[in-house]
Structure 1
């Protein structure tokens, strides 16, 4: 995709995208370690799950919300950190599981939310890539996603390994043995190898576009949100993400022949639900690029195929070509996705 020359733009992001299949294999080999955390969670018998996160990690938390509600049949919600940090809310969190997702584990608001929730009775679990972070110090339990140091500002390997770690955790809570994830490393390598030509075509097709809309349903909604963020932060595009259902409730009115649409659609109920959405979008003249294992089954001008896996694991694979697309577009537009303007690797908010 691009040169590994010492000072080549995007060299870190390129290398970190390529690392992911090996990192997935390493993480699956640690499934027993994650299952031990799940066992402690099961002992507490949580009745509700809250998820706290920011940025890319917020999209991983959105993915976890679907996992928890569908696979565990537990209600789950995303925390608004400011209710604690700015407004001082102190709800009773007895029998609540709080999972805080942060690749750095260093954002003060997430640390404060976790510390406060633990005082108020919640079982707190940190999912991070930094085992000695402040977040790990205040959480009762922790899961290390094991991505290693990430040099590019745009999160790639830390995002995908967080998805896989969350899947392994939820799967273990429901009594699974990571069976569906055993081949995820080889499937990831097949995804990267098999999508390279189509991604390059998409880069050429969209290099001059100024407006991109990403959409997906079910588990894949998180992938659409993450794709939009990656495009915004690396290529400075006006990129927005909507669930396929929400798209038809109003935003579709803004879709026209000048709109590029990234449709994340993988085999399963979420992908099936996207068919009608994309028929409407195509009918409004939008240029649709379908990404995922069900890309051949929907109306699209361009397709980026992804191998079939269990639907609940599809975001781990479908995000890979979307990361490559963000990388390629940033380079084609003259940018360096390793260090986008105005961004730092760790963003500290309150």
Structure 2
């Protein structure tokens, strides 16, 4: 989908329009909000803009009024909704327009309410979507947001001397190559995810940990466990877990630590060791070859990836583990077994 979505992203604004953007707000609910947290770093390090992800209600009620765009086009608000019909996300985009921001909808459904409110729309539509906990729609949202970040990075800016267009083309090719790594990782971890499900299925609560882009991945992974298996799970930042959640019972609570190469890798290693000391059932999601000796199980991610793009590879375990836990518990997604 990269070529098709990239062509659409390029057409959202002209070169001058991209260059005017100084600040980006990302907003959505559920998986869409998780995608905003997972791509914040890319907008700042690649796009060259200040970026703030906010859930839709928080943006509409506590964020939009204080954006105060300094000039037309300086503030860009991107709202994400796979269905295009999430009421609070539509409300957030209306608030953004009311306070003078340029708005873009990222959605999988043309002609949806969100597209009718937005100034521009990036359509990230997929064939043959299924009524299951969102995985492909999440991937489409990630891809759409990252391609917008690349367009911002392509724009000429007075404080940047590098060849922005050449760099953006190289980064786009990195995204394309990730498809092979996604495939290899999904195949490699499936059997191990079943073993992990057997290890954790009896737990009443679980926690997923990550920082930077992996914080968004942790939120997404927790959501899959809730939606797919009906098990209460939370996503949390690595450092914050050390301050609060490490004190919670039960002592053998499953702790999934998402640890790609990058700025938080050392902290993730530290948390794996600390969680093991506390008696937690620790699962490390890390690059292939990393031993994570203190973990009870390791889910190996194939392929080298920059931290900004790591959410594409490091979320893959979540759907499998949730599925296998649901099977162990005799449940169906969204509690439909109760129907």
Deviations along 1:261-307, one digit per CA (max 9) or x if unpaired, are 11111122232331112221111111111113267243311011111
- 1:47 aligned to 6, 17, 22, which one? 22
* 8 A Cα contact 1:256 1:285, kept in partner: no
* 8 A Cα contact 2:19 2:152, kept in partner: no
Offset, 1:328: 1.5
Offset, 1:322: 1.4
CA distance in 2, matches of 1:225, 1:135: 24
Offset, 1:136: 0.9
Match of 2:262 in 1: 268
Counterparts in 2 of 1:282 and 1:88: CA distance versus 1, 3 Å: closer
* 8 A Cα contact 2:108 2:126, kept in partner: yes
Q: Does 1:62 align with 2:17?
A: no
- 2:101 aligned to 122, 127, 147, which one? 122
Counterparts in 2 of 1:48 and 1:84: CA distance versus 1, 3 Å: closer
Secondary structure of 1:154 counterpart: coil
CA distance in 1, matches of 2:38, 2:104: 16
CA distance in 1, matches of 2:288, 2:16: 35
Q: Does 1:140 align with 2:134?
A: no
Match of 1:8 in 2: none
CA distance in 2, matches of 1:155, 1:201: 23
* 8 A Cα contact 2:218 2:258, kept in partner: yes
CA distance in 1, matches of 2:55, 2:135: 24
CA distance in 1, matches of 2:332, 2:102: 41
Q: Does 1:253 align with 2:270?
A: no
Q: Does 1:306 align with 2:310?
A: no
Counterparts in 2 of 1:164 and 1:172: CA distance versus 1, 3 Å: same
Q: Does 1:106 align with 2:81?
A: no
Match of 1:156 in 2: 135
Q: Does 1:218 align with 2:212?
A: yes
**Length, aligned pairs only:** 317
CA distance in 1, matches of 2:200, 2:282: 11
Counterparts in 2 of 1:41 and 1:328: CA distance versus 1, 3 Å: farther
* 8 A Cα contact 1:266 1:295, kept in partner: no
Gaps of 5+ in 2: 155-167
Q: Does 1:205 align with 2:199?
A: yes
Match of 2:11 in 1: 36
Offset, 1:149: 4.5
Match of 1:323 in 2: 319
CA distance in 1, matches of 2:186, 2:100: 43
CA distance in 2, matches of 1:41, 1:197: 50
Counterparts in 2 of 1:155 and 1:71: CA distance versus 1, 3 Å: same
Gaps of 5+ in 1: 1-25, 344-350
CA distance in 1, matches of 2:289, 2:265: 9
Match of 1:76 in 2: 51
Secondary structure of 1:269 counterpart: coil
Counterparts in 2 of 1:83 and 1:31: CA distance versus 1, 3 Å: closer
TM (norm. structure 1) is: 0.83
Offset, 1:119: 3.3
CA distance in 2, matches of 1:282, 1:220: 20
Offset, 1:30: 3.6
Offset, 1:102: 0.7
> Aligned-pair RMSD on alpha carbons?
2.5
Offset, 1:204: 1.5
Match of 2:274 in 1: 280
Offset, 1:100: 0.2
Segment drifting more, 155-164 vs 249-258 = 249-258
Offset, 1:213: 0.9
